[in-house]
Amino acid sequence: MKHKNENTDTLTKADFLEALTKLEVKLNIKFAEFELRIDDKMKAYNSEILSRFDSWAKELETAREDRTISTRKLASHALTLKDHGQRIKKLEKLVN
């Protein structure tokens, strides 16, 4: 890297800029590699998170369906109980 001048061994501005450029290229390459590794890790992490959200969404959907079914069953039972109550009253009138 050192250019020998006729009188002294000194580092010239050109030498310094050349070394700086090489260092910058090496740093850019390392940074790009690091960025790719982070991207790969984030993709895996995002995939895991989305899989968990899918699971939770399915559980919520199932819970909503169960709640709807339960509500309908309760309404049906309420009507049946009302009918039974009316029948019991009629039977009690007949017995008395």
pLDDT in tens, 3-40: 555 556 788 999 999 999 999 999 999 999 999 999 99
Task: Kindly list the domain boundaries of the chain, sorted by start residue.
Answer: 11-95
pLDDT in tens, 34-82: 999 999 999 989 888 988 899 899 999 999 998 888 888 888 888 888 8
Which residues lie closer than 8 Å to 19 by C-beta, 6 or more apart?
A: 1
Mean pLDDT of the chain: 86
Which residues lie closer than 8 Å to 15 by C-beta, 6 or more apart?
A: 1, 2, 3
Which residues lie closer than 8 Å to 12 by C-beta, 6 or more apart?
A: 3
Q: What is the pLDDT of residue 61?
A: 93
pTM score of the predicted model: 0.41
